[in-house]
Amino acid sequence: MNKASIAFAAIVAVATLPAAAMALDKVSFGTNWLAQAEHGGYYQAVADGTYAKYGLEVTIRQGGPQGANRSLLVGGQIDFYMGGTALALDAVPAGIPTLTLASIFQKDPQILMAHPDQGFDTFADLAKASKYILSKDGYTSYFPWMQKAYEGFVDEKYEPYTFNPAPFIANKTAIQQGYLTSEPFAIQRETGWEPKVFLLADAGYEPYSTTIEVMKPWYDKNPDVAKRFVEATIIGWYNYLYGDNAAANALIKKDNPEMTDDQIVYGISKMKEYGIVISGDAEDKGIGCMTDERWKTYYESMVAVGRFAPGIDYTQAYTTDLVCKGLGKDLVK
């Protein structure tokens, strides 16, 4: 074989290499809390090679009590962040060019809990509680919405939540905030009784949650990388919820050794039961779907209660270009 033939053969060999054997684009993704089932799709896409199939080498940087991953995003230290609607909208008037690319959770898992057999049968009934044990963020975000949407919620009953459930457990007529996939499980394990759960999203409070957020200048320079990350993440979430997720759960427990198998099973079951990931627009258009109408409705509802100033160009906070295409729906089992 002459030199020309050898050179041509080498070119053909490189051209036919599988994507996984070629150089991968290295990106980092910061979560908003310690590793858990609620982050499962990202870990799944790492564990089963989906990110690699999309030409990506993804490093997951978990958040936590002292986590500052959103600041790292703004500072250019990570590429993607697990964000939320409120902070994305806050960034617009502040001149911080973040951009939301997808919303993995169609429903925010924020809940209110009540004791059983205390007459709390509907969301409206919660106004009758003796205490509303809420975080400061909850008191300034969804609580004003509760006051406008439902009668009877008064400021005088507010009590700060210190992330210790003891006051709620001791007071049968109190209500407390929580996360659908965590606090009810912890309380039932500690007390033997199951609290009544009221999902704010099902009561009409509808921000997007567990979003994929980037800096717009980075996105403008790397649109293909962003597209591949969003699509691989969507596939990862379908496979985590409906496929073999053992390897992903092992990675979750490696990052967060305090995470248990029981907690993971509980988290997955509640995400499915309440349609946290797949409901609404995501049922027909796929995981991650966002719409202009939903962003507009949430923004206007929060302007009405004073959470956001009127006149913000909320459309600067997001793009729907990469989602709502039905990707991965065939993986539902």
**pLDDT digits over 75-85, tens only?**
999 999 999 99
Q: What are the domain boundaries of the chain?
A: 3-107+207-331, 110-203
pLDDT tens digits, one per residue of 97-128? 999 999 999 999 999 999 999 999 999 999 99
User: Per residue in 8-67, pLDDT tens?
Assistant: 444 444 444 444 457 999 999 999 999 999 999 999 999 999 999 999 999 999 998 777
Q: Do the Cβ atoms of 149 and 206 come closer than 8 Å?
A: no
What CA–CA distance (Å, rounded) separates 204 from 195? 21
Q: What is the CATH number of domain 3-107+207-331?
A: 3.40.190.10
Gyration radius of the chain's alpha carbons = 22
Q: Assess contact for 120 and 183: CB atoms under 8 A.
A: no
pLDDT by residue (tens digit) across 276-312? 999 999 999 999 999 999 999 999 999 999 999 999 9
Task: Compare 16 and 166 and report the one with higher pLDDT.
Answer: 166
Nearest by Cα to 26 from 52, 58, 60: 58
pLDDT digits (tens, 9 = 90+) for 215-269: 999 999 999 999 999 999 999 999 999 999 999 999 999 999 999 999 999 999 9
**Pick from 271, 236, 268, 243: nearest CA to 105:** 271
Q: What is the pTM of this model?
A: 0.91
Q: Do β-strands 56-61 and 25-30 pair in parallel, antiparallel, or remain unpaired?
A: parallel
CATH superfamily of 110-203: Periplasmic binding protein-like II (3.40.190.10)
**CATH fold match for the domains 3-107+207-331 and 110-203:** yes
What pLDDT is recorded for position 65?
79
Neighbouring residues of 99: CB distance < 8 A, sequence distance ≥ 6: 213, 214, 215, 216, 219, 317, 318, 319
Q: What's the confidence (pLDDT) of residue 333?
A: 84
Residue 103: helix, strand or coil by DSSP? strand
